[in-house]
């Protein structure tokens, strides 16, 4: 009888061990599949930039565009055919991500004519207030001044959008802080794309027209980018870039 019980217990232990082992393996597989959080999630984008630049060395005297999906999705080479451009947009990113990956998305590019940045939109959407967005931008700006002294930097205002219309007050507050900083800095420019977008609304206080966006109410349509181009191009010219 005791022998039977011992055999039963041994089988139970071995079986349980197999079950636990299988569960551990399953959990490990799930962990491996899970996408990284934080700045690390952009590693593939950074590798893409590095690989692209190795295959085709970036031009000197170019304008570097960096930021979130509003940059990534923009065909800046077609928008500025008379300028050499580099598009280092990585969708969904925040200012803090540009800081984290600074050594690969901004620092390596030398002899630039200008740096154009769009970021802050996702920051507010993730719960950051205007003060935090401004603090992060100040940190990014300090790094740019250190690696690219004298290079004009243009910050594109955080855009008002249909999808994130409830965040407009925080967006505006962050924009005003950065605009005020640009007034005091010789090499920092503020491209106020928010003003014409809001002016295009049917009534004061309404979101910008739907035709400025894609169907998601967030990303820019061709018409929206055309509006942006006029504002940003004017700032580039102020900085002595372009015709």
The per-residue pLDDT for range 9-35, each reduced to its tens digit, is: 344 444 444 444 444 444 444 444 455
Mean pLDDT, to the nearest integer, of 57-84?
A: 97
User: What is the DSSP code (8-state) at residue 101?
Assistant: T
Bridge partners of 188, per DSSP, are 153
Bridge partners of 115, per DSSP, are 64, 153
Quote the pLDDT of residue 242.
83
User: What is the tens place of the pLDDT at every residue in 182-234?
Assistant: 999 999 999 999 999 999 998 888 999 999 999 999 999 999 999 999 999 99
Mean pLDDT, to the nearest integer, of 100-127?
A: 97
User: What is the tens place of the pLDDT at every residue in 142-170?
Assistant: 999 999 999 999 999 999 999 999 999 99
Query: Would you put residue 8 in left (φ > 0), alpha (ψ -120 to 50) or beta?
Result: alpha
User: Does residue 114 have a pLDDT over 60?
Assistant: yes
Domains contained in the chain, CATH given: 46-238 (3.40.50.1110)
Quote the pLDDT of residue 86.
98
DSSP string of 158-219, one letter each residue:
PPP-STTGGGHHHHHHHHHHHHHHHHH-TTEEEE--HHHHHHTSSSTTSPPPGGGB-TTSSS
* 168: nearest Cα among 136, 198, 131: 198
Q: Extract the tokens encoding 2.
A: 């005791």
Task: Please provide the distance, in angstroms rounded to a whole number, between the alpha carbons at the two ends of the chain.
Answer: 97
Q: Specify the range with the lowest mean pLDDT, choosing from 3-7, 79-83, 175-179.
A: 3-7
Q: Whole-prediction pTM value? A: 0.84
Bridge partners of 116, per DSSP, are 65, 154
Mean pLDDT, to the nearest integer, of 49-63?
A: 95
User: Does residue 235 have a pLDDT over 60?
Assistant: yes
Quote the pLDDT of residue 91.
87
Rg (CA), the chain: 24
Q: Extract the tokens encoding 120.
A: 């802050």
Mean pLDDT, to the nearest integer, of 131-145?
A: 98
Quote the pLDDT of residue 23.
43
Reduce the DSSP state of residue 154 to 3 states and report it.
strand
Rounded to the nearest integer, the mean pLDDT of the chain is 88
């Amino acid at each position: 009888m005791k022998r039977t019980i011992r055999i039963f217990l041994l089988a139970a232990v071995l079986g349980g061990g197999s079950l636990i082992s299988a569960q551990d393996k399953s959990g490990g597989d799930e962990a491996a599949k899970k996408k990284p959080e934080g700045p690390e999630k952009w590693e593939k984008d950074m590798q893409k930039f590095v690989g692209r630049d190795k295959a085709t060395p970036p031009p000197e005297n170019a304008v570097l565009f960096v930021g979130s999906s509003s940059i990534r999705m923009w065909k800046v080479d077609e928008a500025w055919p008379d300028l050499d451009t580099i598009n280092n947009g990585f969708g969904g990113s925040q200012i803090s991500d540009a800081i984290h990956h600074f050594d690969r998305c901004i620092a390596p590019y030398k002899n630039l004519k200008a740096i154009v940045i769009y970021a802050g939109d996702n920051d507010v959407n993730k719960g950051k207030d205007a003060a935090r967005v401004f603090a992060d931008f100040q940190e990014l700006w300090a790094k740019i001044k250190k690696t690219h002294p004298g290079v004009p930097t243009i910050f594109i205002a955080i855009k008002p959008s249909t999808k994130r219309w409830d965040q407009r007050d925080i967006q505006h507050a962050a924009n005003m802080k950065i605009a005020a900083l640009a007034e005091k800095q010789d090499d920092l420019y503020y491209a106020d794309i928010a003003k014409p977008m809001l002016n295009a609304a049917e009534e004061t206080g309404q979101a910008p027209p739907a035709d400025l966006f894609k169907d998601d109410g967030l990303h820019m349509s061709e018409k929206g980018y055309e509006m942006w181009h006029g504002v940003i191009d004017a700032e580039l010219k102020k900085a002595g870039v372009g015709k």
